[in-house]
Each structure stands twice: as structure tokens, then as C-alpha cells.
Structure 1
Amino acid sequence: MSTPQPPLPQAAPRPPYPGYTSPIPVVRTHLLHAVASEWTKMRSVRSTMWTLGVFVLLVVGIGVLAGAVVGSTTADMSGSNPLELGFFGLLLGSMCLITLGVLTTASEYGTGMVRTTMTACPSRGRVLAAKAVVFFLVAFVVTLVSTTLTAVVQVALLEGSGAESPGGEDWLKATVGVSLYLALLGLASLAVGSIIRHSAGAITIMIGVLLAPLVIALFMFTDSLKDVQQALFEYSIPNQLSIFYANSLSDSGPSGWDPLWMVLVVTAVAFGLAYALLERRDV
């Protein structure tokens, strides 16, 4: 009968790679890291420079041209606000911010870059928030600079035409107010781009939201549709933009700072839906 053998001695476990320190610093990531990443993306692609360049050209170019044409004529501008002429370029320029907002999110789905983004930052809500922060700051600053420059030039050109001197609230609404409105409108487009995940489709939807209500209202001639026509006029985006210049297209409806609160609510709802879908769907 064999006797049991004593167990062999086991060597003490040694720590893996003794004395090794990784050269890559290990840090806890936060929102600012995602913001820095999104800022790098935005400033390194040509579409950003093209859309913002066309935006500035439309807002400043058309605004200054309108002021120069009116200032060179003998038209009596008594009782009118010279800042009103900035509306025309801003309405066309808003399409550029809508396009840039959509491309900020939807373009990554078209190129497949979204997979790399989500791998680098698995927190999808943080990615969406970082895109929103970067876009809002860029859109607001560019719009504010453009509208302020346009307003200053227009007041100078129309100084001798009898136009009223704009008050402090007029300046605030025609620069800061309208810049906040367009930046929020662009944010809503960003959220729609995240929801639709298709650049052309999302841009088409947002251009339709911008122009369709006003165009439809123009062709409503029957008395039975008067109430619908009036509502479309009052709540169309062109009319809301004109309110910031104290030149509403309708005699009733939103006034003062109402358009800013309305677009804020719409943008918040769009972002809530975009976040919910982003968490539920696969990339």
C-alpha cells in the first residue's frame, strides 16, 4: 500500500510586471474632455468653415447692402427702426445654422465615425451634451458678432434719413436676443439630426419647419381657414424672428421675448427625445 506524498511547495505569487509604470496617465474622464473632443471635430472639418462663412456673408452682406440702398435713396425713414433691415439677411442665414446643427450629429452616422466616438466615450448622454455645448457657443458667438456689426453699420448709414435712434432694449433684442434664438434653433436641429440619423432628411425637415408654415399660410384664401392662416402667421419662425426687430408680421400672437421662451421649450423637448432614443438604439 503506497503512502501519500507530501504536497510540493508552491512559489509565492509575484506581482505582474514588477517595477513597471504606464507612461499613459490614468485620469477620470468628465464632460470637459468630451467638449474638447467635439471642439476638435468641429474646427477641423471644412463644412463648419463653409457654413459659418456663408452665414456671416449673408447676415452682414445683405444687412449692409439693405442699409446702403435705403440710405442712398430719398425714402423717409421717420418713425422706423434702422435695425429692422437686419431681418432679411438673418432669415436666410438661419438655414446655415440649421444645416450646421444637423451635420454636427447626423454626419457621424453617415461616415460611421459615431462608433469611434461612442467607443472613446461610452456615456452617450455626455457625447450629446458635449456636442450641444460646443455648437451653442460657436453659433451664439458668430451670430452675435455678425448681428452687432450689421446693426452698427446700418445705424451709421441711416443716420441722416430720419430714422429713430434705437433704444437699449432694441439693441439688446436685435443682437443678444436674436443670437440666442438662432443658437437654440440650431440646437433643435442638432437634436433632430441625432433622432433622424440622416443629414439630408434632417435638413429637409428643419427647412420645412422654417419656411413651410409661412408659405402655406400665404395660399389660404378661404374665410373658413382664416383662423388657421392667422395661427401659422403668428407662430412661424420668420414672424418670431421679426418680433426681435419690433416688426411682427401679424398684429396678434407672440410679442416681446416670447419667441425665445417658445424655442427654448421646443429645443428641450427635442433633446429629451434625442437622449431617450440615443440610449435605446444601437449605434
Structure 2
Amino acid sequence: MSTPQPPLPQTAPAPPCPGYTSPIPVVRTHLGHAIAAEWTKMRSVRSTMWTLGVFVLLTIGVGLLPALVVVGTDTDLSSGENPLGTGAFGLLVGSVCLITLGVLTMSSEYGTGMIRTTMTACPNRGRVLAAKSIVFFAVAFVVSLVAITLVSLADVALLEGHGARQPTGAEWLKGTVGVSLFVALLGLLSLCVGSLLRHSAGAITVMIGVMLAPLVLALFMFSRALEGVREFLFEYSLPSQFFVFYGAALDEKGPSGWDPLWIVLGLTAAGYAAAHLLLHKRDV
């Protein structure tokens, strides 16, 4: 007979493994995080500083040139002319820089492939587009406002005693804040076009064409049958809209007052809606 084996000792059950707590705090992301990321990208890219620097130089340099010519030749402006309008030439030329920067803010990430990293870090594509739009618009508006205000103050001081009158408070508001909003929205429209086309050179070409093509076409419409079309293109071309903010509308029937701001706001809203829709439908 076999010898009975002693019973095996009973082992106590292992205590449950305590839950792991990550030392890295986990928080729910929101739009503020995306804005902070886009602001870091914008201010750390060298092309942003160069583009904004050229914009400021063109806005101030070209904006002061007409006033310096008037002072240098000792001539007078026409009676009652608004001296703020002389600075519009610089902003008109400098707006090309903001158009370029608006396109590059979105399209450059598609060119480098960085857009994949951006969408991985923030899968909410609408939030990415909103963050880029907010950061760009804020930067474009502030830089434009500072530049055009400096030009306006200098022009008023230079043209004092040369037939120019002192602008009213409403004229100061339209000639500084109003036109800065107009230029910033124009740059935001460029960002939307960059998102739609995903190609920097193509989007910049399209935006410059939108800005200059109507005016160029109107200049070569000599036929009387096209007179109505020519007047429409003259009145609603973007370069003409700049001068409406200074009370220099080409025709009483065309845009006046704050109308150019509402026009470009409508165009930008349509472009943003299209960019938002296609951003969710297409692959990165």
C-alpha cells in the first residue's frame, strides 16, 4: 500500500494589482490647446517673420511716399481731401504679403507632410482649421492696425498746411480699424483657398488673380456694349474697395461706407465653409 501524501499547503490568493497612475496629467483637449499649438508654429517659422517684416516695410514705405512727394514739391492737395487716403497705397501693395502668408499658413503643411502630424495630434479637423484661422486673423489684424496707424499719423502730420483737413473720428475709425479688418479678412480668405487647393503656388496665383484680374480686365474693355460690365468691375475690384474706406468711392451707386467689409466678410465665410466641408471629406 502506498503511503498517503500530506496535503499541499494552501497559498493565500495574491492581492489585486494596484491601478497604475500615469505621472503625466491627462486632460481633455479643447480649442485653446490647438490655438496654442498654431501660435507656436507661426511664431517659430522664419518665413512668418520675413513676410510680416516685408509687409510692414511696404505699408509704411509706400504709404509715406505720396505725402513725402507733396511736401518735397511744395504742392497742395485738393481742397478738403482726406489725408488718410494717401496711406492706402502702401497697404494695397503690402496686402500681397498677407495673402501669401495666409496661403502658406495652411498649404505649407501639405507640402512638407506636416499636416499628418497635425491631424494625428488633433484629429478634430474643424478645430485645426478654426485654430489656424483665429491665430492668423489676430496676427494679421494687429500688425495691419499698427502699421496703418503709424502711416496715418505720419501722413496727417506731414500734410498739415498742404491743403489737407483734419480727419473726423469716424474717418479715423474706418481708415485704421476698418481697413485693417478688411485686409485681415482678405488674408483669411487666402488661408481658406490654401486649404481648398493644398498647393502654395496655385493658391497664391488664384488669390492675386482674384485681387487684380477684375481691374485689369476693366481697363481693356473699350466697347460701349461692355460699359456696364466695366463699371461693375471697377467698382467691385478689391483695389477699389480699399479707397472706399477713405471716402473715395468711384461711383455713388457702388459700395460705400462699410460695404467693402461686408462683401469680403461674405466671401470669406463662403470660403471657410467650403474649406471646412472638404477638409472632412478628403484624406490628408
Q: How many residues align?
A: 274
1:274 and 2:278 correspond: no
Q: Which residue of 2 aligns with 1:3?
A: none
Question: Which whole-Å deviations, capped at 9, do the CAs of 1:109-148 have from their partners, x for residues lacking one?
Answer: 0000000000000000000000000000000000000000
Question: Which whole-Å deviations, capped at 9, do the CAs of 1:44-77 have from their partners, x for residues lacking one?
Answer: 0111111100100011111122211112223222
Q: Which residue of 2 aligns with 1:24?
A: 24
Q: Specify every segment of 5 or more residues in structure 1 that has no aligned partner in the other structure, as ranges.
A: 1-8
The structural deviation recorded for 1:169 is: 1.0
Give the conservation status (yes or no) of the 8 Å contact 1:104–1:131.
Answer: yes
Distance (Å, rounded) in 2 between the aligned partners of 1:107 and 1:29: 25
Q: TM-score, normalization: structure 1?
A: 0.93
State which structure, 1 or 2, has the greater radius of gyration over its C-alpha atoms: 2
Q: TM-score, normalization: structure 2?
A: 0.93
1:221 and 2:222 correspond: yes
Q: Which residue of 2 aligns with 1:76?
A: 76
Q: Which residue of 1 aligns with 2:51?
A: 51
Q: From the superposition, tell whether residues 10 and 93 of structure 1 become closer, same or farther in structure 2 (CA, over 3 Å).
A: farther
Distance (Å, rounded) in 2 between the aligned partners of 1:30 and 1:60: 38
The structural deviation recorded for 1:11 is: 5.6
Distance (Å, rounded) in 2 between the aligned partners of 1:252 and 1:182: 23
Give the conservation status (yes or no) of the 8 Å contact 1:233–1:250.
Answer: no
1:183 is matched by which residue type in structure 2? A
The structural deviation recorded for 1:12 is: 6.6
Q: From the superposition, tell whether residues 106 and 10 of structure 1 become closer, same or farther in structure 2 (CA, over 3 Å).
A: farther
Q: From the superposition, tell whether residues 13 and 229 of structure 1 become closer, same or farther in structure 2 (CA, over 3 Å).
A: farther
Distance (Å, rounded) in 2 between the aligned partners of 1:12 and 1:260: 72
Question: Which whole-Å deviations, capped at 9, do the CAs of 1:82-120 have from their partners, x for residues lacking one?
Answer: 111111111111100000000000000000000000000
Q: Which residue of 2 aligns with 1:132?
A: 133
Give the conservation status (yes or no) of the 8 Å contact 1:52–1:97.
Answer: yes
Q: Which residue of 1 aligns with 2:257?
A: 256
Q: Which residue of 2 aligns with 1:4?
A: none
The 3-state SS of whatever aligns with 1:147 is helix
Distance (Å, rounded) in 2 between the aligned partners of 1:122 and 1:12: 41
Q: From the superposition, tell whether residues 84 and 11 of structure 1 become closer, same or farther in structure 2 (CA, over 3 Å).
A: same
Stretch deviating more after TM superposition (257-266 or 69-78): 69-78
The structural deviation recorded for 1:20 is: 3.6
Q: Which residue of 2 aligns with 1:95?
A: 96
The 3-state SS of whatever aligns with 2:165 is coil
Distance (Å, rounded) in 2 between the aligned partners of 1:13 and 1:275: 53
Matches within 5 A, 1:79-228: 79-228=80-229
The 3-state SS of whatever aligns with 1:28 is coil
Distance (Å, rounded) in 2 between the aligned partners of 1:236 and 1:51: 24
Distance (Å, rounded) in 1 between the aligned partners of 2:15 and 2:125: 40
Give the conservation status (yes or no) of the 8 Å contact 2:70–2:76.
Answer: no
Q: Which residue of 2 aligns with 1:14?
A: 16
The structural deviation recorded for 1:200 is: 0.4
1:166 is matched by which residue type in structure 2? P
Give the conservation status (yes or no) of the 8 Å contact 2:67–2:155.
Answer: yes
Q: From the superposition, tell whether residues 21 and 95 of structure 1 become closer, same or farther in structure 2 (CA, over 3 Å).
A: same
1:14 is matched by which residue type in structure 2? P
Question: Which whole-Å deviations, capped at 9, do the CAs of 1:212-235 have from their partners, x for residues lacking one?
Answer: 000110000000111111110111
Instruction: Report the identity percentage.
Output: 68
Distance (Å, rounded) in 2 between the aligned partners of 1:134 and 1:117: 15
Distance (Å, rounded) in 2 between the aligned partners of 1:151 and 1:71: 15
Distance (Å, rounded) in 1 between the aligned partners of 2:160 and 2:248: 20
Q: From the superposition, tell whether residues 273 and 165 of structure 1 become closer, same or farther in structure 2 (CA, over 3 Å).
A: same
Kindly report the root-mean-square deviation, in angstroms, between the aligned alpha carbons of the 2 structures: 1.6
